[in-house]
Copies of this chain bind each other. A is one copy, B any other.
Amino acid sequence: MEKMNLNKHISGQFNAELDDIRNRVLAMGGLVERQLEQALDALAGLDAELAKTVIDGDHKVNGMEVAIDEECTRIIAKRQPAASDLRLILAISKTITDLERIGDACVRIAKAAVDKRAKSQEPLLVSIESMGRHATRTLHATLDALARMDAEQAFELHKEDAKLDKEYEGIIRQLMTYMMEDPRSIPGVLDVLWAARAVERVGDRCKNICEYIIYYVKGKDVRHTSYEDMEKDLHQ
């Protein structure tokens, strides 16, 4: 009896630890989402002050990555989790890497907002803003799927990335035309182009996180899998 209580107690602590890293990864996601919103606001309003806030805030994102990863390793070593608990921890450990990289993308977007050359290309920033809002919605929905560990939503979002890619290609074409029409604009337009690329990368990162959610829920690694096979795995 006493042993049973002890086991229960230990498993209660273990569950609390798992809840804790889940909450921490969601907090990190919330921070990254705010960084992305502010970076896009800074770019849209060419607000150097706000851009600086984003750039200065990146170390917090980095710190969270290292701290959560350390905690993941500690839990694996101490609790020796199996099956779905282990998958959860490994999925979290991979998710935070992608969140940190989204944080880096935010810094790149913010840097374009303080760049004097990009400022001369103000009209071009409108199209990035629209793609940026799309990326923000995708990130928000991805974090939502992560909070609820919703594999169906993760699968739907995974497909969303192709739309962002299309939007990005359209912007690249637009920027190309602009450069050809006015070669003096090239350095400034390239800065805008790097920002657009950073936004597009946010979509790729969200796609990765969706794959980890599906991996956790379904116990199956769906990276490099076609949508058809992925759908079969989801509904079998």
Contacts and interface: CB of A to CB of B under 8 A. Distances in A.
A65 B172 CA distance: 31
A224 B179 CA distance: 36
A86 interface: yes
Given A176-B187, A187-B176, A224 B90 contact: no
A93 interface: yes
B73 A77 contact: no
| Interface residue range, chain A | 20 to 34
Interface in A72-86: 73, 76-77, 80, 82-83, 86
Contact of A86 (B59, B77, B187): B77
A162 B62 CA distance: 20
A55 interface: no
A77 B83 CA distance: 7
A190 B171 CA distance: 14
Contacts of A181: 183
A87 to B, nearest CB: 7
Contact of A73 (B65, B70, B86, B184): B86
Given A97-B94, A180-B186, A183-B183, A76 B66 contact: no
A63 interface: yes
Nearest first, the 7 A-B pairs at minimum CB distance are: A80-B80, A62-B224, A180-B183, A183-B183, A77-B82, A66-B221, A180-B186
24 contacts: A59-B224, A62-B224, A63-B224, A65-B224, A66-B221, A66-B224, A69-B221, A70-B221, A73-B86, A73-B87, A73-B90, A76-B76, A76-B86, A76-B90, A77-B82, A77-B83, A77-B86, A97-B97, A176-B186, A179-B186, A180-B183, A180-B184, A180-B186, A186-B186
